[in-house]
Chain A
């Protein structure tokens, strides 16, 4: 992440960066990881916890742990203060993820916006990871919000 010396106008950041792809990674879907995740979530549905179930698949939130390590694009401007805090993830499930699948993820900047609440003005940077299986089918979308003090 680059450091800008002057304050950055958010509209310009949005225009420049929203939709820009900046990371690519692959993840192998292993049975033991899928079961462990589901059980850690307290899931009891055998579709997510029993590998012998005919419809065994990853728990809906499973892809939220797939991180490639890159948070923002190279040269992304320094906006807001500090490193930011984790604003949580929103997951959309499009199709079942099966054991043995290899998921191919692309990461983009989905949105940059600010808003004001009781705590003052905060900047939100939304990073979107889209996961596709080997057939190219979109199976999961994860939007991750990073919140920074304006």
Chain B
């Protein structure tokens, strides 16, 4: 199963893509994605219901969140009421240890995204402040990375023994699916299933740039 784990819709302040237009694009361009996860900035969108789009386009559409911490941005999958009550998602200085610990306590899965990026990436803080306990997985392939960022992410993830996943970080329709995550021999149908699959660790980051899949 191939999922883009990092996308933004117009629910994000800088998102320009409507969710239905993502679906249309995936089908029109015949992208190999089975679905995507909406990771809106500094919030969890508990209101929107995309089940009709899932049915119409035969795609899995899940919701998560991208929060900001003192060690850069972190994707949180499996956000629930417990976690929403525990963390102020709008706070751009959340302590990363707290995000990781609370996510774990609430049954969610938290992983830093674009870790090789200046200022907002996990690894840009490691040299000065050291490694963070509790990190096990990072986004090694990000569709919004500039040259050098993903390379650093992959190198540092290997160095620290972190698993890697991929996401496009798309803010406009045409960038969805630039990077994604492959879950071999697995069928994911819900956000709980996604959390379990991520915790299981059997996945790999892939890039689809140029229409060619590759790790």
Interface residues of A, Cβ cutoff 8 Å to B: 111, 113-121, 124
| A111-B14 Cα distance, complex, nearest whole Å | 14
In the complex, whether B187 has a CB less than 8 A from a CB of chain A is no
In the complex, whether B42 has a CB less than 8 A from a CB of chain A is yes
Which of the 9-residue segments B103-111, B115-123, B200-208 touches chain A?
B115-123
Shortest C-beta distance, B87 to chain A (Å), equals: 15
Shortest C-beta distance, B120 to chain A (Å), equals: 5
Specify the chain B residue showing the minimal Cβ separation from A118.
B118
Assuming the contacts A121-B92, A124-B13, asked whether A115 and B119 have C-beta atoms less than 8 A apart, the reply is no
Secondary structure at chain A's binding surface: helix, strand, loop or mixed?
strand
| A120-B120 Cα distance, complex, nearest whole Å | 8
* Contact assessment for A118 and B90 in the assembled complex, using a CB-CB cutoff below 8 Å: no
* Contact assessment for A115 and B117 in the assembled complex, using a CB-CB cutoff below 8 Å: no
> A116: which B residues are within 8 A, CB to CB?
68, 73, 92, 119-120
| A113-B92 Cα distance, complex, nearest whole Å | 9
| A120-B42 Cα distance, complex, nearest whole Å | 16
Can you list 12 A-B contacts with CB-CB less than 8 angstroms, sorted by A residue number? A111-B13, A113-B42, A114-B92, A115-B92, A116-B92, A116-B120, A117-B119, A117-B120, A118-B117, A118-B119, A118-B120, A121-B92
Specify the chain B residue showing the minimal Cβ separation from A143.
B13
* Contact assessment for A120 and B92 in the assembled complex, using a CB-CB cutoff below 8 Å: no
* Contact assessment for B90 and A113 in the assembled complex, using a CB-CB cutoff below 8 Å: yes
Specify the chain B residue showing the minimal Cβ separation from A119.
B119
In the complex, whether B8 has a CB less than 8 A from a CB of chain A is no
Known contacts A113-B42, A117-B120; 7 additional CB pairs below 8 A are: A113-B13, A114-B92, A115-B92, A118-B120, A119-B119, A121-B92, A124-B13
Assuming the contacts A115-B68, A115-B92, asked whether A120 and B13 have C-beta atoms less than 8 A apart, the reply is no
> B41: which A residues are within 8 A, CB to CB?
115
> B118: which A residues are within 8 A, CB to CB?
118
Which 8 interchain pairs have the tightest Cβ spacing? A118-B118, A116-B120, A114-B92, A116-B92, A116-B68, A115-B92, A118-B119, A117-B120
Q: Which of B17-72 contact A (CB under 8 A)?
A: 41-42, 68
